[in-house]
C-alpha cells in the first residue's frame, strides 16, 4: 500500500478490504446493547464467539514465554497501512471489533509503559487528523494493554450503527463552556479519579498538535501524581484523545468482576465475553466496575 497519492483514510479502507479477502484480518463478531446510568448511555458489546481470539492469545502467550515473541516485530505484511515518519508504522488491528481500527506502533521495540514522546504523538496525530474517531493509549498491563510493545490506537466512528461519537463524550462536552483550554480538572460526576483538559487544534499541523498535547499529557501525569522516572511511567493509566479534549485515568487493576477494561471502557464502551458477564454489568452497573479498576474518589 505504498501509493502516496492515496490519503491515509483511503489506505486504511483499502488495506482492510484486502486483508479481509486474504483472511489476515480476524474480525470479532459482536452484538450490542445500551445501558443507561447517570445519563451516560453505555455501549455494551457482547462477543458472539471469542474462542478464536482466545486460542490465538494462548498460542501467542506460549510463543512469548518461549522466545519473547512480539506480533509487531515483524508485523504481518497484510496488515500494513503506511509508514508514519521514521520511527512509527500504522497497521490494522488484527482482532478488530470495529472495522478500520488501527494501531500506531514503534518500528523498534519500546515498552508500553514508556512515556509518550513527541514522535509518538506526531505519528498519532497524522492518523487522527484523517480519521473521524477516538484515539487511546493503554499504558501498561493494569490499563488493559495486551501487548508489551508501545502502541497507540485509533478506532473510527461509529462505534455502533447509528450511534454518534461515544457514550462519555456528552458528559465531557457539558464542561466545555466552563473551562479554558489547557485547564485540567476532574469531573465530579464520575466516581473514580480522572483528569480532563480541552484543547483547540483547528488548522494545526500534526507536529503542532503533538506539541500541544504533549504539554497537556505531562501536566496530567503531574496532576494525577502518576510517578515516572522521565522515561517510564511507574503507574499504569488510560489515555483518551479526541480532536477537542483529552482524559487520563490512573489504573489499579486490569479487570473487575471478571470483566477486562481498557481505555474504551472509560469512553463508555465495554466489551463482555458472554451473557453472564452482561448480567454482571447490569447488576453492578458500569460506573461501579470502572471505579473498581481505577482509583475510587
How much is the pLDDT for 2?
43
Segment-wise mean pLDDT, segments of 10 residues, the chain, 297 residues: 67 96 92 94 86 58 59 91 95 94 96 96 96 96 94 94 90 90 93 96 94 97 94 95 97 95 97 93 97 96
Q: Under DSSP, is residue 154 helix (H, G, I), strand (E, B) or coil? A: strand
Rounded Cα distance, 205 and 43, in Å: 33
Q: Which residues contact 106 (CB under 8 A, 6 or more apart)?
A: 87, 88, 120, 149, 150, 151
Q: Which residues contact 51 (CB under 8 A, 6 or more apart)?
A: none
**Strands 133-139 and 237-241: what pairing?**
antiparallel
How much is the pLDDT for 289?
97
* Secondary structure percentages of the chain, helix, strand, coil, to 5: 30, 25, 40
**Strands 269-272 and 40-47: what pairing?**
parallel
Query: 8-293 belongs to which CATH class?
Result: alpha beta
How much is the pLDDT for 246?
97
pTM: 0.92
Amino acid at each position: 500500500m505504498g501509493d502516496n497519492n492515496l490519503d491515509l483514510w483511503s489506505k486504511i479502507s483499502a488495506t482492510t478490504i484486502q486483508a479481509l479477502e486474504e483472511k489476515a484480518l480476524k474480525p470479532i463478531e459482536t452484538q450490542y446493547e445500551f445501558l443507561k446510568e447517570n445519563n451516560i448511555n453505555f455501549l455494551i458489546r457482547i462477543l458472539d464467539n471469542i474462542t478464536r481470539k482466545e486460542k490465538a492469545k494462548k498460542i501467542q502467550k506460549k510463543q512469548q514465554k518461549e522466545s519473547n515473541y512480539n506480533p509487531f516485530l515483524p508485523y504481518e505484511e497484510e496488515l500494513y497501512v503506511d509508514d508514519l515518519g521514521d520511527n512509527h508504522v500504522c497497521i490494522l488491528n488484527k482482532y478488530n471489533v470495529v472495522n478500520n481500527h488501527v494501531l500506531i506502533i514503534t518500528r523498534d521495540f519500546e515498552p508500553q509503559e514508556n512515556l509518550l514522546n513527541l514522535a509518538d504523538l506526531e505519528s498519532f496525530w497524522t492518523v487522527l487528523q484523517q480519521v473521524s474517531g477516538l484515539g487511546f493509549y493503554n499504558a501498561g498491563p493494569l490499563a488493559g494493554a495486551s501487548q508489551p510493545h508501545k502502541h497507540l490506537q485509533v478506532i473510527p466512528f461509529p462505534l455502533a450503527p447509528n450511534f454518534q461519537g461515544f457514550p462519555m463524550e456528552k458528559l465531557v462536552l457539558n464542561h466545555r463552556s466552563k473551562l479554558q483550554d489547557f485547564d485540567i480538572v476532574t469531573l465530579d460526576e464520575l466516581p473514580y479519579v480522572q483528569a480532563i483538559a480541552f484543547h483547540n487544534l483547528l488548522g494545526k499541523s500534526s507536529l503542532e498538535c503533538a506539541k500541544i498535547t504533549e504539554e497537556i499529557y505531562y501536566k496530567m501525569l503531574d496532576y494525577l501524581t502518576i510517578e515516572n522516572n522521565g522515561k517510564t511511567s511507574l503507574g499504569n493509566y488510560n489515555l483518551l484523545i479526541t480532536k477537542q479534549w483529552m482524559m487520563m485515568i490512573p489504573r489499579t487493576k486490569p479487570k473487575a468482576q471478571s470483566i477486562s477494561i481498557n481505555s474504551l471502557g472509560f469512553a463508555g464502551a465495554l466489551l463482555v465475553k458472554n451473557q453472564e458477564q452482561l448480567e454482571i454489568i447490569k447488576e453492578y452497573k458500569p460506573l461501579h466496575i470502572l471505579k473498581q479498576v481505577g482509583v475510587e474518589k
